[in-house]
């Protein structure tokens, strides 16, 4: 990968740009110094007995436009990025322009969000206008993973139920939106034992939530659950502090349990990432968004939203 970010590529691109412009200049200069190729100003080529190719000069307007194009290209490369790693005298960048536009938009929206800065999230969730704003932020930033209705899908949590990993409540929602979250289930096959042990453990895990399983294998796998208890607890009910899910209910983040799925999870592990949004959204927007997300699993706030709709 380092080969694609070395300074050599910048020189390569700059060389191509300079050579291309120089070639265009040479073509124009050469065309301006045309010379008759024969006494009658023809190329000497004849078709269809009398059809001759003349050596007439290029139209002046065409030449003028070509020179204007070259001058524009040189000025552009002096002012803006384009000549290899040269940033241009204006110091412009697409990222800088995007950040400036985001800052301008945030400044313009400050008065709209001002009243929600110190308001408790529960109260914001009861405000129809705030919920409408939060819903639009959710659709633009969260619906791609959690769905437009917040019910998620395989590997993306349902935000409308009461099953939460890592914590609950408005403050936890704000923290998760701002900072993101990473769930990590490490590969555990080596700690469990043989492939047969892993299979037995998978059946024991399935038995905890009443999923279809082999009862004999589950009994044999019970003793192997000690490798999982440090995170999921001895009773399999998980630990909020670690973000370890409850294995005794029927809420399965990665699809309803089957033997092969659980074996794969034990063998390969799983990493899930919720990206941080502190750089995309202002603190005020995050607060309003958190109120909307909180309302999805709390009936009083849902009623307020339904009133708006």
Please state which architecture CATH assigns to domain 101-180+275-308. Orthogonal Bundle (1.10)
184-274 folds as Cytochrome Bc1 Complex; Chain D, domain 2 (1.10.760)
**Would the CATH topology of 101-180+275-308 be identical to that of 184-274?**
yes
| CA distance to 8, 50, 96, 147, 202, per residue, from 3 (Å) | 9, 59, 26, 39, 45
Answer yes or no: are the C-beta atoms of 150 and 293 closer than 8 Å: yes
Distance CA 171, CA 175 (A): 6
- Quote the DSSP letter at residue 11: H
**pLDDT of the chain along its 309 residues, tens only?**
455 567 788 888 899 999 999 999 998 888 777 666 667 777 777 888 888 887 777 788 988 999 999 999 999 999 999 888 888 999 899 999 988 998 898 888 888 898 898 899 999 999 999 999 999 999 999 999 999 999 998 889 999 988 888 888 899 999 999 999 988 899 999 999 999 999 999 999 999 999 999 999 999 999 999 999 999 999 999 888 888 899 999 888 887 778 999 999 999 999 989 999 998 898 999 999 999 999 999 865 444 333 333
- SS3 letters for 12-40? HHHHHHHHHHHHHHHHHHHHHCCCCCCCC
Tokens of 258: 């089957």
**Closest alpha carbon to 40 in 53, 27, 24:** 53
> Where are the chain's structural domains?
2-79, 101-180+275-308, 184-274
């Amino acid at each position: 990968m380092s080969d694609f970010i070395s300074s050599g590529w910048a020189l390569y691109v700059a060389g191509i740009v300079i050579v291309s412009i120089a070639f265009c200049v040479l073509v124009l200069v050469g065309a301006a110094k045309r010379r008759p190729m024969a006494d009658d100003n023809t190329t000497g080529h004849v078709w269809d007995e009398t059809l001759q190719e003349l050596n007439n000069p290029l139209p002046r307007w065409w030449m003028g436009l070509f020179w204007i194009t070259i001058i524009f290209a040189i000025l552009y490369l002096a002012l803006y990025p384009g000549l290899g790693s040269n940033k241009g005298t204006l110091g412009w960048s697409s990222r800088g322009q995007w950040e400036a536009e985001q800052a301008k938009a945030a400044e313009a929206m400050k008065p709209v969000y001002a009243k929600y800065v110190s308001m408790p999230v529960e109260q914001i969730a009861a405000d129809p206008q705030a919920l409408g704003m939060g819903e639009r932020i959710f659709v633009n930033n969260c619906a791609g993973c959690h769905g437009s209705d917040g019910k998620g899908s395989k590997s993306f949590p349902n935000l409308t139920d009461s099953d939460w990993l890592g914590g609950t409540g408005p403050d936890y929602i704000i923290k998760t939106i701002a900072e993101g979250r990473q769930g990590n289930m490490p590969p555990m096959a080596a700690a469990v034992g043989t492939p047969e042990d892993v299979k037995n453990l998978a059946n024991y895990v399935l038995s905890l939530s009443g999923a279809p399983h082999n009862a004999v294998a589950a009994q044999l796998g019970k003793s192997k659950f000690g490798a999982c208890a440090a995170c999921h607890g001895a009773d399999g009910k998980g630990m909020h502090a670690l973000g370890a899910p409850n294995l005794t209910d029927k809420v399965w983040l990665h699809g309803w349990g089957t033997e092969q799925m659980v074996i794969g999870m034990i063998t390969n592990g799983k990493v899930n990432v919720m990206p941080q949004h502190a750089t995309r959204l202002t603190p005020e927007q995050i607060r309003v968004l958190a109120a909307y997300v909180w309302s999805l699993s709390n009936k009083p706030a849902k009623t307020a939203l339904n009133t708006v709709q």
